[in-house]
Amino acid sequence: MTYDLIIGDYAYSSWSMRAWLLFDRFGIERRETEICFADGAVPDLMPDWTPAKTVPAIRTPEGAVVGESLAIAEELASRHPDLPLWPEAPLARATARALSAEMHAGFTSLRGDCPMNLRKAYTDFIPSEAVERDLRRIETLWDHARATCRPEGPWLCGDYGIVDAFYAPVAMRIAGYGLKVSPSAQAYVNAHLADLSLRRWRALGLAHGPDLERYRRDHETGAWPGPAPRAAEAARTGTPENDACPYSGKPVTHLMEMEGRIFGMCNARCRDKTAADPEAWPQFMALV
């Protein structure tokens, strides 16, 4: 079962991130289309996706267009009952659904004052009272979920699921703007920062697409708070250790250097996303 998925800029499109994380985290097959917010109004950039008018959207194998993130999540859960997109236990499932719905409709001050920008980590942002209220509400919800569901791992309601994908951009805002939260909330943010699917999404955001002025904020910046990636960069010359791209299996055309070793990929996109965060990509790390 393969879906069509249309998304916006990796660095900025928080709603696109939510849907993409579900596909990536659970290995759901998709054909991906990307649009760039700099190219114009979003509805004009997706004329073949009516009635959807924003990203993300999916087209099911039967041709249904689903253009709301929560509807996308529910549709995937109903079509893939073998995947733990929602928790199996009724208490945990109800809790996860309630938190996801509040995320979908709430936290407008945090979302408005702190637009997601995965290319920046601000060090001197001072949150407004409204943002502080949103943060305290988020702390309450996260603590309630963990107290109610008692997960063994770092996620809210058990294993990673829809509720965690929905709060991933919230965690990135907390991380990227240096917002102060409780130790338990910070631990949840750190789990997202270390998650390989999220690191892959951010690597794509670092490697592709223009800087968009409307997302820029005039604050001091520092190092991204997540795990530091291994140093790697594009290389002009050298003999690669591999003959085939680790992603496509196609012949090597573009080179990357990491720790004195040369690796090859089939195009600039594969090379650049790998150089942004090599350890986020299992196919590449299998070579290493």
Return the sign of the alpha-carbon dihedral for residues 226, 180, 69, 8: negative
Looking at the fold, whether 97 and 185 belong to one and the same domain comes out as yes
Looking at the fold, whether 127 and 41 belong to one and the same domain comes out as no
Looking at the fold, whether 27 and 70 belong to one and the same domain comes out as yes
Contact in structure between 119 and 11 (CB atoms under 8 Å): yes
For residue 116, the domain's CATH number is 1.20.1050.10
Instruction: Please name the residues in contact with 203: beta carbons below 8 A apart, sequence gap of 6 or more.
Output: 229, 273, 274, 276, 277, 280, 281
CA–CA separation, 21 and 205 (whole Å): 14
Looking at the fold, whether 104 and 48 belong to one and the same domain comes out as no
Domain boundary among 79, 101, 120: 79
> What pLDDT is stored for residue 184 in this prediction?
98
Looking at the fold, whether 95 and 193 belong to one and the same domain comes out as yes
Domain boundary among 150, 175, 200: 200
CA–CA separation, 288 and 282 (whole Å): 10
CA–CA separation, 177 and 235 (whole Å): 33
Mean confidence (pLDDT) of the chain:
97
Long-range contacts of 260-265 (CB under 8 A, 24+ apart): 261/288, 262/235, 262/238, 263/287, 264/240
Is residue 227 in a domain?
no
Looking at the fold, whether 100 and 67 belong to one and the same domain comes out as no
Q: Which tens digit of pLDDT belongs to each residue from 99-143?
A: 999 999 999 999 999 999 999 999 999 999 999 999 999 999 999
Is residue 143 in a domain?
yes
> What pLDDT is stored for residue 254 in this prediction?
98
Looking at the fold, whether 100 and 161 belong to one and the same domain comes out as yes
The number of folded domains in the chain is 3
Looking at the fold, whether 158 and 131 belong to one and the same domain comes out as yes
For residue 73, the domain's CATH number is 3.40.30.10
Q: Which tens digit of pLDDT belongs to each residue from 4-27?
A: 999 999 999 999 999 999 999 999
Is residue 224 in a domain?
no
Range of the domain at 162: 90-200
Is residue 228 in a domain?
no
> What pLDDT is stored for residue 1 in this prediction?
87
Domain boundary among 200, 224, 244: 200
Is residue 213 in a domain?
no
Contact in structure between 162 and 25 (CB atoms under 8 Å): no
Helical ranges in 83-209 per DSSP H = 90-105, 108-113, 129-149, 162-176, 183-194, 196-207
CA–CA separation, 179 and 75 (whole Å): 33
Looking at the fold, whether 184 and 98 belong to one and the same domain comes out as yes
Looking at the fold, whether 118 and 177 belong to one and the same domain comes out as yes
Task: Look up residue 38 and give its amino acid.
Answer: A
**pLDDT < 50 regions, the chain:** none
